[in-house]
Amino acid sequence: MSEKKWYVVYSKPKCERRIDDALTRKGITSWCPLTKTQRKWTDRVKTIEIPVFRSYVFVHITEDEKYQVLITPGVLNFIHYLGKPAIVRQEEIDLMKKFLLEKDAKFEVVSSEGFKQNTKVKVSHGVFIDKEGTVLRDGKKKVYVQIESLGQVMIVEFKAEYLIPVSV
């Protein structure tokens, strides 16, 4: 029997909770991380839970269970990385779960649309970790950042998920 690993499935919009429930009923371990947010209506303010990652549900499965996940209503496909279904390490799942248990946990996923030209950002991954720069332009999946170092200016291309907006 193959070892269980954490994968990420891509879902139809606003179907994350239904997919999580359906997979649980099938006996498949799944997780749809939720965060609390306040929504304002004309007559009241209400705290609701929304998925941290839009259209993503994490599943803990073996290779043999992939088909059962794919035939679940609302599931579109597995998220792929380098041509294979992306695997999330158990430590990363545990870290997210631990963080979300904190009282005032705020979890925000910023897409590349969140990086406008001239936004100050900090790199959170790779050899440029903790370096700050300025967004020159953004693309669909890449953001081009100007980093000043040693009196020289470098233009570096980053994945959007590797950048954090810097408060000024």
pLDDT computed for residue 69 by the predictor: 96
Name the pTM for this structure.
0.64
Find how far residue 123's CA is from the centre of its chain: 16
Cα distances from 166 to residues 42, 106, 123, in angstroms, run: 32, 16, 10
Q: Which residue has the higher pLDDT, 39 or 150?
A: 39
The 10s digit of each residue's pLDDT in 108-138 is 554 445 567 777 887 776 666 777 888 777 6
CA–CA separation, 35 and 132 (whole Å): 28
Contact by Cβ (8 Å): 136, 146 = yes
Domains and CATH numbers, the chain: 5-101 (3.30.70.940), 112-165 (2.30.30.30)
- pLDDT score of 5 more than 70: yes
Q: Which two tokens stand for residue 145?
A: 């950042």
Q: What percent of the chain has pLDDT over 70?
A: 77
Q: Which of 16-25, 117-126, 155-164 is predicted with the least confidence, judged by mean pLDDT?
A: 155-164
Q: How confident is the model at residue 86 (pLDDT cuts 50, 70, 90)?
A: confident
pLDDT computed for residue 27 by the predictor: 95
The 10s digit of each residue's pLDDT in 28-80 is 999 998 888 888 888 988 888 888 888 899 999 999 999 999 999 999 999 88
